[in-house]
Homo-oligomer: A and B are copies of this chain.
Amino acid sequence: MEKEKRTEISAFGEFGLIEHLTKAFPLRNTSSVLGVGDDAALISNEEHLTVVTTDLLLEGIHFDLMYFPLKHLGYKSVVVNLSDICAMNAVPSQITVSLGVSNRFSVEALEELYAGIQAACEFYKVDLVGGDTSASHQGLVISVTAIGKVKPEKRVLRSTAKKGDVLCVTGDLGGAYLGLQILEREKQIFLNQPDMKPDLEEQQYIIGRQLKPEARMDMIQQFEKAGVVPTSMIDVSDGLSSDLMHLCKQSNLGAFIEESGVPIHPQSEQMALKFKLDPITCALSGGEDYELLFTIDPRDVDKVRLMADIYMMGEMVDANDGIKLHTKGGNIHELKAQGWKHF
């Protein structure tokens, strides 16, 4: 008997795999304005586009219940989806949530999870409109779909940056990753000495970045107020390097970043040094900050300069010029994707 062909999933990596698996699917309906390959799907519905995105969160892969409180997990499960809606310059309006739960969880535990989901619904003014729960042999499984809307002329893709556009980012980067490092360290200490109290070193800010991230809906509202439409946008979920690479690849461009322009919170900087990590590496490769990475037309620079919490850190260049970082020391480094690798 001929041996069955077997290619390991790891040969593709997370992004290559979904691209590989979905490339044979044509779009058939004129209402399917945009399918797989951006932060969310766009569906034409008269005046507005309906925006749909979905994420699957699995215990042991995307979260560790040993240090992730269920309420925070519920909140974050919603936020990561709303962040994708925002990355289209759209406003989220509905979510659906499906759960798989083993009998290890009590109703009270699930109530905690839903309390977090509810808190997110309240804060972002979105409605839970569907979903179900079923049993699981396999720990906790959370699937969230988010829906939003945007006027067709306001939707922002990954693929529409132009050469010469200014590259910007909101908030600060690397904090969520460093928060995770603290939680992982305390988990190991706890496993070795269960009577030790966790030492969170008053790093509330960066631990909060990991345990209670926010979607930058405030930025979408700021853009609207200021009359700015970014030329391209993506949310920073995998890490600045990875997500910038998506933007560049889909816009068929390169990028040039100034290290001094990359926003890093003082607590992140201190904690990186304590862990003997380079702060800029944490900012480039740490994921889960859920900030917005976007480009603007140079003519819009004056509008954006006055907006709070936005940092201009570089420029879009020819694809041939690659994706490069100009360090504070004056060196130039080629950026490599080092996002989350689950496989």
By a beta-carbon cutoff of 8 Å, the part of chain A in contact with chain B is: 4-12, 14, 17-18, 20-22, 24-29, 31-32, 34-36, 40-43, 45-48, 50, 52-56, 58-62, 93-94, 96, 98-101, 103, 105-108, 110-111, 114, 118, 121, 125-139, 141, 143, 145, 147, 149, 342-343
A25 partner residues in chain B, CB cutoff 8 A: 118, 121, 127-128
- Are A40 and B130 in contact, CB atoms less than 8 angstroms apart? yes
In angstroms, how far is the closest chain B Cβ from the Cβ of A57?
Answer: 8
Q: Whole-angstrom distance between the alpha carbons of A106 and B9 in the complex?
A: 6
A17 partner residues in chain B, CB cutoff 8 A: 107, 110, 133
Report the nearest B residue to A99, measured CB to CB. Answer: B56
Q: Whole-angstrom distance between the alpha carbons of A96 and B111 in the complex?
A: 27
In angstroms, how far is the closest chain B Cβ from the Cβ of A4?
Answer: 7
A20 partner residues in chain B, CB cutoff 8 A: 107
- Are B145 and A93 in contact, CB atoms less than 8 angstroms apart? no
Residue of B8, B42, B59, B106 touching A107 (CB-CB under 8 A): B8
Q: Whole-angstrom distance between the alpha carbons of A99 and B14 in the complex?
A: 11
A52 partner residues in chain B, CB cutoff 8 A: 52, 94, 96, 129-130, 145, 147
Known contacts A21-B114, A28-B126, A103-B9, A138 near B135 by CB under 8 Å: no
A110 partner residues in chain B, CB cutoff 8 A: 9, 17, 21
- Are A107 and B35 in contact, CB atoms less than 8 angstroms apart? no
Q: Whole-angstrom distance between the alpha carbons of A31 and B149 in the complex?
A: 10
A41 partner residues in chain B, CB cutoff 8 A: 94, 96, 129-130
Could you list some 24 contacts between A and B, CB below 8 A?
A7-B107, A8-B106, A8-B107, A9-B105, A17-B133, A18-B131, A22-B114, A22-B131, A25-B128, A28-B121, A29-B94, A32-B129, A36-B128, A40-B130, A41-B129, A43-B147, A45-B149, A52-B129, A52-B130, A56-B141, A58-B138, A61-B134, A103-B343, A138-B139
Identify the 6 closest CB pairs spanning chains A and B, nearest first: A46-B46, A138-B138, A45-B45, A41-B129, A135-B342, A143-B143
- Are B21 and A133 in contact, CB atoms less than 8 angstroms apart? yes
20 more contacts with CB within 8 A, not counting A20-B107, A28-B127, A54-B143, are: A4-B108, A8-B107, A9-B107, A21-B133, A22-B131, A24-B118, A25-B121, A29-B93, A35-B128, A46-B46, A46-B47, A52-B96, A53-B130, A54-B145, A56-B98, A56-B100, A56-B143, A58-B100, A61-B137, A98-B143
In angstroms, how far is the closest chain B Cβ from the Cβ of A10?
Answer: 7
- Are B125 and A29 in contact, CB atoms less than 8 angstroms apart? yes
A126 partner residues in chain B, CB cutoff 8 A: 28-29
Report the nearest B residue to A136, measured CB to CB. Answer: B58
Report the nearest B residue to A49, measured CB to CB. Answer: B45
In angstroms, how far is the closest chain B Cβ from the Cβ of A19?
Answer: 10
